[in-house]
Structure 1
Amino acid sequence: MDSFLLVPVIDLLAGQVVRAVRGQRSHYQPMQSALCAGSAPLPLARALLARCASGTLYVADLDAILGRPAQAALLRELLAGLPAVTLWLDAGFKDAAAAHATLAALGEAAHRVRPVFGTESFNGTAAFEDCFGEPGGAVAEDAAKPVLDALLSLDQRSAAPLDPAGAWARAGRWPRDLIVMTLDRVGADAGPDLATLAAIRERAPRARLFGAGGIRSQADLDTARAAGAAGWLVASALHDGKLGAP
Structure 2
Amino acid sequence: MLRVIPVIDVLNGVVVHAVKGNRQKYQPLQSVLTTSVNPLDVATVFKRQGFSELYIADLDAILENKPNFALYSGLVQIGFNLLVDAGITAIETAKKLYSYGVSKIIIGTETLPTISFVNEIIQQISAEHIIISLDMKDNKILTPHNFSDSTEMSELLKQLCRMSVTDFILLDLSRVGSNEGVNIDLLTQISTILTHNGNGGRVYVGGGIQSLDELLSLKKFDVLGVLLATALHSGKIDINTLKQTGLLF
TM-score strictly above 0.5: yes
Q: Please state whether the residue corresponding to 2:111 is helix, strand or coil.
A: coil
What residue number does 1:135 align with?
A: none
Q: Answer with 29-38 or 95-104: which moved more.
A: 95-104
Superposed CA offset, 1:78-103 (max 9, x none): 222x22x2000000001433311343
Q: How far apart, CA to CA, are the structure 1 residues paired with 2:110 and 2:34?
A: 32
What residue number does 2:173 align with?
A: 183
Q: How far apart, CA to CA, are the structure 1 residues paired with 2:232 and 2:8?
A: 11
1:17 is displaced (CA, Å) by 0.6
1:200 aligned onto 2:187: no
Q: How far apart, CA to CA, are the structure 2 residues paired with 1:130 and 1:78?
A: 27
AA paired with 2:186?
T
Q: For the Cα contact (< 8 Å) 2:40–2:71, is it kept in 1?
A: no
1:225 is displaced (CA, Å) by 1.7
1:16 aligned onto 2:11: no
AA paired with 2:136?
Q
Q: For the Cα contact (< 8 Å) 1:186–1:212, is it kept in 2?
A: yes
Q: For the Cα contact (< 8 Å) 2:65–2:87, is it kept in 1?
A: no
What residue number does 2:245 align with?
A: none
Task: For 1:155-174, list aligned pairs within 5 A.
Answer: 155-163=135-143, 164=147, 165-166=149-150, 168=153, 169-172=155-158, 173-174=160-161
1:213 aligned onto 2:207: yes
Task: For 1:105-120, list aligned pairs within 5 A.
Answer: 106=100, 110=101, 112-120=102-110
Paired-residue identity, %? 30
AA paired with 1:156?
M
Please, what is the CA RMSD of the aligned residues? 1.8
What residue number does 1:101 align with?
A: 96
Q: How far apart, CA to CA, are the structure 1 residues paired with 2:225 and 2:7?
A: 13
1:14 is displaced (CA, Å) by 1.8
Q: How far apart, CA to CA, are the structure 1 residues paired with 2:83 and 2:150?
A: 23
Superposed CA offset, 1:65-124 (max 9, x none): 0033111122222222x22x20000000014333113434x3xxx1x4310000111112
AA paired with 1:183?
L
1:238 is displaced (CA, Å) by 0.3
Q: How far apart, CA to CA, are the structure 2 residues paired with 1:236 and 1:99?
A: 28
AA paired with 2:150?
G
Q: For the Cα contact (< 8 Å) 2:97–2:105, is it kept in 1?
A: no
What residue number does 2:60 align with?
A: 63
1:195 is displaced (CA, Å) by 1.1
Q: Please state whether the residue corresponding to 2:64 is helix, strand or coil.
A: coil
What are structure 2's unaligned runs of at least 5 residues?
241-249
1:186 is displaced (CA, Å) by 0.3
Q: How far apart, CA to CA, are the structure 1 residues paired with 2:65 and 2:156?
A: 29
Higher helix share: 2
What are structure 1's unaligned runs of at least 5 residues?
132-137, 141-145
Q: How far apart, CA to CA, are the structure 1 residues paired with 2:126 and 2:95?
A: 10
Superposed CA offset, 1:44-80 (max 9, x none): 11223444x3311000111010033111122222222
1:171 is displaced (CA, Å) by 2.1
When normalised by structure 2's length, the TM-score is 0.84
Distance 1:50 1:219, change over 3 A: farther
Q: How far apart, CA to CA, are the structure 1 residues paired with 2:21 and 2:116?
A: 26
Q: How many residues are matched?
A: 225
Q: How far apart, CA to CA, are the structure 1 residues paired with 2:37 and 2:96?
A: 27
